């Protein structure tokens, strides 16, 4: 992994990604949130993505409801069917709460972390990103790399493709692209 990065900043990036995958709610989907997201897109060179997103939000009479309907369709229950449940077990075992979920929880424990009472299943994408955020903050780069390789990469690319292919709103396309960016290996550079 990158040795001279600022761990806290990387931790923040993971947490921001996790936040973005929560159910759309005015509590976090604020002006501040969007301005931070636009700033991130500017820095990454995502001008086109930013324009598409702003256009979709401005064209909507109720952008919050649009995002809630899209989130429900993509990740909870939707028609024609739920597109991409955000749980690793679904892709690896065609089931919620599979063995994979158990293994991932054991891995959290083995690194000194756990799940709160209110948490979803341990293999939820949000918790995986939150876990990565903790690892980054606690400077556990070896574990971070290990987790991405052993637990995250086996399912996330399938999920990512599904969301990108089927999303009707640019928001989730953008967010998934950002998560892709921060979690994929860059083999050509020997990261």
Q: Map the footprint of other proteins across residues 96-135, applying CB under 8 A.
A: 96-98, 101-102, 105-106, 108-110, 112-116, 118-120, 124, 126-127, 130-131, 133-134
> What's the CA gap between 156 and 87, in Å, rounded?
9
Both tokens of residue 74? Answer: 């993509």
Nearest to 20 by CA among 165, 186, 163: 163
Q: Which is nearer to other proteins, 8 or 154 (by Cβ)?
A: 8
Size of the site for other proteins (CB under 8 A): 85
* Segment near other proteins (CB under 8 A); pick from 3-11, 53-61, 141-149, 155-163: 3-11
| CA distances to 20, 39, 168, 177 from 50, in Å | 15, 9, 16, 12
Both tokens of residue 19? Answer: 């936040």
Please state, as a whole number, how many other Cβ atoms lie within 10 Å of the Cβ of residue 1: 15
> What's the CA gap between 103 and 112, in Å, rounded?
14
Q: Which is nearer to other proteins, 59 or 79 (by Cβ)?
A: 79
Q: Supply the Cα-derived Rg of the chain in whole angstroms.
A: 17
* Segment near other proteins (CB under 8 A); pick from 53-61, 87-95, 146-154, 155-163: 87-95
173 lies in the binding site for other proteins (CB under 8 A): yes
Q: Which of 57, 82, 158, 162 binds other proteins (CB under 8 A)?
A: 82
10 lies in the binding site for other proteins (CB under 8 A): yes
Residue with tokens 């229950």: 77
SS3 87: strand
Q: By CB under 8 A, what part of segment 20-79 binds other proteins?
A: 22-23, 27-28, 30, 32-33, 35-37, 39-40, 43-46, 48-49, 65, 68-69, 71-73, 76-79
């Amino acid at each position: 992994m990158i040795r001279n990065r600022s761990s806290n900043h990387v931790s923040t990036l993971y947490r921001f990604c996790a936040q973005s995958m929560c159910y759309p709610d005015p509590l976090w989907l604020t002006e501040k949130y969007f301005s931070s997201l636009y700033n991130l897109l500017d820095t990454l060179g995502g001008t086109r993505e930013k324009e598409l997103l702003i256009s979709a939000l401005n064209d909507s009479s109720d952008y919050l409801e649009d995002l809630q309907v899209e989130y429900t369709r993509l990740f909870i229950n939707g028609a024609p069917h739920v597109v991409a449940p955000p749980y690793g077990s679904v892709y690896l075992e065609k089931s919620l709460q599979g063995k994979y979920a158990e293994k991932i929880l054991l891995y959290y424990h083995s690194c000194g972390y756990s799940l709160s009472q209110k948490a979803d299943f341990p293999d939820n994408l949000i918790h995986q990103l939150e876990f990565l955020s903790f690892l980054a903050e606690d400077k556990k780069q070896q574990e971070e790399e290990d987790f991405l390789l052993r637990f995250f990469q086996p399912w996330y690319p399938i999920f990512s493709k599904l969301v990108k292919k089927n999303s009707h709103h640019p928001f989730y396309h953008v967010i998934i692209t950002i998560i892709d960016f921060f979690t994929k290996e860059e083999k050509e550079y020997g990261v």
